[in-house]
């Protein structure tokens, strides 16, 4: 590692014995000045190249015309352990959602907390849905 004394750090990581294998490797960098310190994990992920693209399906939720609705949204297939036991293990990956539009006068949606939207989650909820954009049928 170089860059001591600055906020910039460059790290050269040497492959483990036998070379890089499919899996997730954790690199921890600790910094300390006097009694104050910080520790940060970084992840090197070696993919098997056979994972499908990650997408969240379009989900239609019907609003009954009054009150507040909560939607359950399915998330992509869980990848942890799909190839070997180190595949994405301890990686704190999560899904984030960005509001693109909402009906006029609608409240802001409320998303589940980060720890309930991880790569190991199979679904998530979005609540505080209180207006409809168009009529639903069925």
Q: What is the pLDDT of residues 78-87, one digit of tens each?
A: 765 555 666 6
- H or E element: which one contains 124? strand 123-129
Burial class (CB in 10 A: 0-12, 13-18, 19+), 88: buried
* Average pLDDT rounded to a whole number, residues 100-105: 88
pLDDT > 70? residue 60: yes
When pLDDT is cut at 50, 70 and 90, the band that residue 137 belongs to is: low
């Amino acid at each position: 590692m170089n860059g001591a004394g600055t906020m910039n750090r460059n790290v050269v990581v040497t492959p483990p014995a036998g070379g890089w294998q499919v899996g997730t490797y954790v690199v921890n960098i600790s910094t300390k000045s006097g009694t104050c310190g910080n520790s940060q994990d970084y992840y090197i992920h070696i993919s098997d190249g056979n994972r499908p693209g990650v997408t969240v399906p379009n989900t239609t939720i019907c609003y009954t015309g009054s009150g507040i609705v909560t939607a359950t949204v399915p998330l992509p297939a869980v990848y942890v352990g799909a190839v070997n036991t180190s595949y994405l293990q301890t990686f704190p990956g999560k899904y984030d959602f960005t509001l693109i539009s909402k009906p006029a006068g609608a409240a802001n949606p409320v998303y589940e907390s980060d720890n309930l939207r991880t790569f190991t989650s199979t679904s998530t909820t979005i609540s505080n849905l209180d207006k409809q954009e168009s009529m639903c049928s069925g």
